[in-house]
Structure 1
Amino acid sequence: MTEPIYLDHNATTPVDPRVLEKMLPYFSEIYGNASSIDHLHGNRSKKAVDAARQTIAKLLGCRKDNEVIFTGGATEANNLALIGSYRRLREKGRHIISSAIEHPAVLDTLHYLENEGAEVTLLPVDCYGVVDIQALQAAIRSDTILISVMFANNEIGTIQPIKEIGEVSKKHGVLFHVDAAQAVGHEPLHVYDLNIDLLSFSAHKFYGPKGVGGLFVRTYAPMVRLDAVMFGGGQERGLRPGTLNVPAIVGMAEALAIAVQGQKAERERLGDLSATIKANLLAAFPGIIFNGHPEKRLQHNLNITIPGVEAKGLIHLLKDRLSFSAGSACSTTKVEPSHVLKAIGLSDDECFQTIRFGAGRSTMNSLQISEILIEGIRKLN
């Protein structure tokens, strides 16, 4: 049987063969604990980690290598950023601002912090999923200590005005955290130019291994300090204890270097591919709705509402030909409508008639994808 065309790159990407090749020696040949620096085996691993940290820091626009803290992924990085900054600053204030369309890794963590006394304001978004800067400014209070807004939405692909939000945060002396899991490796990004204080990312979103990610923690103007939320070992400046996953860290650095090097060309290619699929679908079904911002968006993302066609039914019908999702991979077990789609104004029925395409490096034939999808919609319409 022919393998289905994979269109769920927003959920995860395959490990690039060049990344896997780079990782392999660190499973069995260079196997020392990177914290065991008193002998040769440990020092070899430490040098690999140091080199990876330097590579990632440079590609993110950090001032210092130690601004990169390695974690198990963006979810853990979000937890560390939000809980760590809240506990460090709660004597100064307890108010946190975020948006209504954040990933559950942020929203669930903020809900947890409410049990610790945090007061959370979730900003609404417009019909494209964009946070309003004036609404943000109006929401800031004297006790606001943190703003957390994602770089790009994992469901609808909308990119937020991050630089402007960062400018507002700096003006008011409020820390600014960005969940950039969908953006790192895919969009131009420089943490200092964008006025970001904390930034979360995950390797498996840019063709690296699963189970590894990181958190940028600014050390200059201001120097950001976090309370640890895990304990035992003192690794990663005491913020993320535990034996470092050397193969995964090496792989993440290689994956990011490859992604950034080819970023401009790949964004252009995927933008053209997505535009072709969009045009073909609209020609066949003029009533189809494309969600998210038409221009300020991830080039490889398409979020499509198909009136009268249930998303799960279409996914099941085409499962042997296309692999795509009805929304975030982190919420597919839930039966309630997407909080992101509801926030941009879709009805419950429209939410359940919405699919998400995430194209990637292996996505080539836009005409074939269009024809398969059109055929499936016609069968269910």
Structure 2
Amino acid sequence: MGLGDHGSAGPVGAAIIEGLDIADGHRHLDIASGTGEPGLSIAKRLPTGRVVLTDLVPEMLDIATRRARAQGVANIETTVCSADDLPFDDATFDSVSVRFGYMFFPDVAKATAEFARVLKPGGRLCSSVWVKPEENPWTAIAMRAIAAETVVAPPDRDAPDLRSFWKGSIGFGLVSIPVKAYKATEERGLGLHQVHAADGGRIRLSRYCEIDGAEVPASEVGRAADTGGGDVVLITDEDLAGLPVPTLRTIAVHTFAPPSQIDPLYLSRSYYLEPDTDGVRPYVLFAEALRRSGKVAVVKVAFRQRETLGMLRVRDNVLVLETMVWPAEIRTPDFPFLDEDVDVRLPELKAATALIDCLSGTSTPPSTRTPTARPSTS
């Protein structure tokens, strides 16, 4: 498809596709997808690859999904998220496209840093960019017309800036509680980069094949399982997507246990769970029962085709999912001092204990949030 034959993607989308240098088997991320383009056109070029469409508006992605189904495009998935807070692991995608979204991002620098984070080394970002919306006649006329007919409520300054990335349910006995998951934490670094100290140039990493020593382009990088004896089996995204993962859309409760029985070393990431409209009552009931029991729920859940253990607990009347690593993923400390016979004297031990008691206090400020669960005492 050349620039003169842009099809559904339009001329801008066609130019973006040409600039991406995509190859079959790639994993591609389309930002601000709207109703699907150019993501759907890219998916058609990647019959064994995978395309993830993202947008802030779920209804837009619903339309994109229907369009994909009508066009026979099956290698796509959709995620509701913000461009400056992508719910994907580092180095996940071979390429990223942004057709009409870049100049609308509230924080362009933060969004760009997110794109660089999720791109594999050597991956490509291709976007159409022009002046700010208010300076661009293409959008300014439409925006003025909308503004003249629309009364927009002022933003709620107290509203949390959260975007859900997963939708499913909590499976508890015969009860299913529909919920959405949100990242509960964010890491704020200094935004520093590795550079060449002599001239300030950015440091770039290259990939080389250990067999022939040649540099490997992103289009030829795959994943494989080691079968032993030097043999490997290539694994595609379609292979992973087709795995029968029963917890793909369910947080399956397996047992309940005192929190003291779970070593914090197993805890990985934290997520808030919000109930859907029709799941508020069972959600509040389950959360209050869990709080009163003094226990946590041990669960299994799958995010992005990876099943993991987890723990459900209550914090400020909100269910929090703490994902956990598997026991085999815990490393064993093998330090020489563990085999030594260290003499600890009782007076020294008492002094150290007294110092701990002296410096002990409340590390977390008390919550000021008003409880929403008020169970009847009748």
TM-score interval w.r.t. the shorter chain? under 0.3
Q: Which has the larger radius of gyration?
A: 2
**TM-score of the pair, normalised by structure 1:** 0.26
> By percentage of residues, which structure has more helix?
1
> By percentage of residues, which structure has more strand?
2
**TM-score of the pair, normalised by structure 2:** 0.26
